[in-house]
Amino acid sequence: MGEYAIVDTETGEEVGEINSGDVIISAHERQRRARMKKEREEHEINRYRGKGERYIFVNTTFDFSDLSPSTVTKLIYLSTYADYDNLLILNAKSKKEIKRSDLPKILGVSKRTSERFWNSVKAYYIREDEETGKLWLNDEIFKRGKLKSKTAIDYQQFYFNGVRSLYKSANGKNHNYLGYLFQLIPFINREWNVVCENPFEADLDNVQLVTMKDFCAYIGYKDTSSISKLKKIYDALEFDVNGKKQRFCALTYTGLDSGTARICINPEVFYVGSNKGRVDVLKLFFKE
C-alpha cells in the first residue's frame, strides 16, 4: 500500500487526527490537489494578456487624487517607457535613458507645461538621480513583469500600445477626461472593466455599477446638464487599434436619461481580468 494522509473534506488541508467528516486520501490524490492549488494561484498572477503585448502594472491602492487629472494622464503615459527596473528609457533596444530635458518632446507639451508636470510628480512618483539625471518610477506604484500572488489583486494592467495611442489621439485638450477615469482605477471591476462599487466581484449579476450621474458627482460636475456634455466628449474619444478606430469607453443606458449610463473601459487600454472570452466580448462595445 502507498502513503496516505487524513484530509479535512471542507478545507482540503491535512489534519493530524481523524474527526467526524474527515476522509483518507492517497499520496497521489494529495499531489493532484496540491498541483491544482498551485495552478489556481498562478492563474491569479498570469491574468489575461494580449499576445506580444508590453504592459505595466499600476497599484490601485493609489488613486492619484493629489494630482490633477491631466497630470495623471501624463504620468500613466510616461510609465509606458519604464524598463523592468522602473528606469525610464526611450526604447527597449537602445536602452537610452530619459532625462528631464526629454520630457517636453516625449509628452508633446511645452517646456512650461513640462515643468508644471515635473513639479507635481518629482520625488514621490518619479525620482531623479542627482548625479546621472536618470529618472525612476516609484516601484511601490508601478511594476513591470510578474507579480506575487499575494499582491497581484491590488494592481491594474496598462498596455503600452493602447495607452500611447489613446494619449496621442486625445491631443492634450482631452487629457483631463482621460485622467478622470484613470483616477478611478480602484473602482474598475477586474473582470468586466466597468466602473463599480465592488471591483473584485466576478459575477456580473452582482456587480454594483456606478452611473454617469455618480461619476459627475465624483469629479465635481454639479450641473446635471454637464452629463450630456461629458457623454459627447467620451463618445468622441477614439484611438487607433491595429489600424481601426475604437472608443476609449462605452456609455450604455436604457431610456432617455443619460445620467443612468454605465461606464465600461476599453480593455485595449487596461485590463487585468482572467478570462479571454470576456475580453473578446467587451471589445465588441468599442468598435466604430
Asked whether residue 50 is domain-assigned, the answer is no
At 276, phi and psi to the nearest 5? -65, -35
Alpha carbon separation from 115 to 103, 111, 122 (Å, rounded):
9, 6, 10
Q: What does the pLDDT look like over 251-264, one tens digit per residue?
A: 887 766 677 788 99
DSSP 161-215: HHHHHHHHHHTTTTHHHHHHHHTTGGGB-TTT-BBBS-TT---GGG--BPBHHHH
Largest separation between any pair of C-alpha atoms in the chain: 78
Of all residues in the chain, what percent carry a pLDDT higher than 90? 55
Asked whether residue 120 is domain-assigned, the answer is yes
Task: Examine the domain organization and report whether 144 and 225 are in the same domain.
Answer: yes
pTM: 0.80
Asked whether residue 198 is domain-assigned, the answer is yes
Task: Examine the domain organization and report whether 274 and 137 are in the same domain.
Answer: yes
Pairing, β 23-26 against β 4-7: antiparallel
The residues that bridge with 137 in the sheet, in sequence order, are 126
Task: Examine the domain organization and report whether 110 and 26 are in the same domain.
Answer: no
Task: Examine the domain organization and report whether 22 and 91 are in the same domain.
Answer: no
Task: Examine the domain organization and report whether 78 and 198 are in the same domain.
Answer: yes
Asked whether residue 249 is domain-assigned, the answer is yes
Helices (H) and strands (E) in the chain, counts: 10, 11
- Of residues 95 and 163, more confidence is placed in 163
Task: Examine the domain organization and report whether 41 and 126 are in the same domain.
Answer: no
- Of residues 276 and 228, more confidence is placed in 228
The label of the residue with cell 491602492 reads 61
Task: Examine the domain organization and report whether 189 and 265 are in the same domain.
Answer: yes
Neighbours of 186 (CB within 10 A): 15
Task: Examine the domain organization and report whether 269 and 172 are in the same domain.
Answer: yes
Alpha carbon separation from 285 to 248, 250, 256, 268 (Å, rounded):
10, 6, 19, 12
- Of residues 237 and 26, more confidence is placed in 237
Asked whether residue 166 is domain-assigned, the answer is yes
Asked whether residue 227 is domain-assigned, the answer is yes
> For residues 112 and 165, what is the distance between their CA atoms, to the nearest angstrom?
24
Number of domains within the chain: 2
Model confidence at 195: pLDDT above 90: yes
Task: Examine the domain organization and report whether 156 and 102 are in the same domain.
Answer: yes
Domain residues for 275? Answer: 55-286
Task: Examine the domain organization and report whether 28 and 118 are in the same domain.
Answer: no
Task: Examine the domain organization and report whether 161 and 26 are in the same domain.
Answer: no
Q: What value does the mean pLDDT of the chain take? A: 84
